[in-house]
């Protein structure tokens, strides 16, 4: 069935309307696909779901040679750690993470720690944060997660695992006996 208008170049048919609709649908679909591609290719979209290393702090005691490296994250991290370079470097990898705001390098010496480097590598969800701790001498170490923080403790001694972190020992010494609550009164 043909609909006629006064001039022939404005002739409309149901088939012509269907073709125009399909053309518009293809254009809209193409724009949606382009938008989705750009969104998925953006760094923020690929970083979604990653943990972010937001700060690195090093503290230490010159007298005892003990040191502590704390890396803060926006979520609880998981890690793997190993010694290399003859016990003079601790390498800690945090999978599913990137660096956001944490400094790339800290070069001030603290105890047995000569410096700390923080970097990320990989793409998308396969990103890994690597923390490299350079030791000035052989040292024992421990790595633990405390909430959203990764805490590495060091003490002078033969390379190996530190049974309890120095800061943890001091905290336990300072902890008083369990508190006892007595004589509770409620007023109504």
In this prediction, residue 62 carries a pLDDT of: 76
Which strands, in side-by-side order, build the sheet including 113-121?
Answer: 80-84, 89-95, 128-135, 113-121, 105-106
* Domain architecture of the chain: domains with CATH: 51-162 (2.60.40.3500)
- Host H or E run for residue 114: strand 113-121
pTM: 0.63
Sorted by sequence, the CB contacts under 8 Å of residue 107 that are 6+ apart come out as 114, 115
Two tokens, residue 120: 């990320």
Read off the pLDDT of each residue in 112-133 and give the average, rounded to a whole number.
Answer: 95
11: left (phi over 0), alpha (psi -120 to 50) or beta: beta
Sorted by sequence, the CB contacts under 8 Å of residue 147 that are 6+ apart come out as 76
CB 52 within 8 A of CB 74: yes
Sorted by sequence, the CB contacts under 8 Å of residue 162 that are 6+ apart come out as 140, 141, 142, 153, 154, 155
pLDDT tens for residues 27-75?
A: 655 554 555 554 444 444 445 689 999 999 999 987 789 999 999 999 9
Read off the pLDDT of each residue in 91-96 and give the average, rounded to a whole number.
Answer: 97
């Amino acid at each position: 069935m043909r609909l006629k208008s006064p001039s022939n170049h404005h002739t409309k048919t149901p088939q012509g309307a269907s073709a125009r609709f399909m053309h518009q649908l293809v254009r809209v679909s193409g724009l949606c696909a382009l938008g989705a591609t750009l969104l998925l290719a953006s760094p923020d979209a690929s970083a979604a779901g990653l943990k972010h290393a937001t700060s690195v702090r090093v503290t230490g005691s010159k007298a005892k040679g003990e040191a502590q490296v704390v890396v803060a994250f926006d979520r609880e991290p998981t890690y793997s750690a190993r010694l290399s370079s003859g016990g003079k470097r601790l390498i800690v990898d945090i999978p599913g993470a990137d660096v956001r705001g944490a400094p790339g390098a800290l070069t001030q010496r603290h105890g047995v720690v000569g410096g700390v480097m923080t970097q990320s590598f990989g793409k998308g969800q396969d990103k890994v944060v690597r923390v490299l701790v350079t030791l000035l001498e052989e040292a024992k170490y421990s790595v633990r997660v405390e909430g959203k923080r990764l805490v590495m403790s060091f003490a002078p001694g033969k390379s190996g695992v530190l049974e309890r972190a120095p800061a943890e020992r001091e905290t336990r010494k300072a902890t008083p006996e369990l508190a006892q609550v007595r004589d509770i009164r409620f007023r109504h």
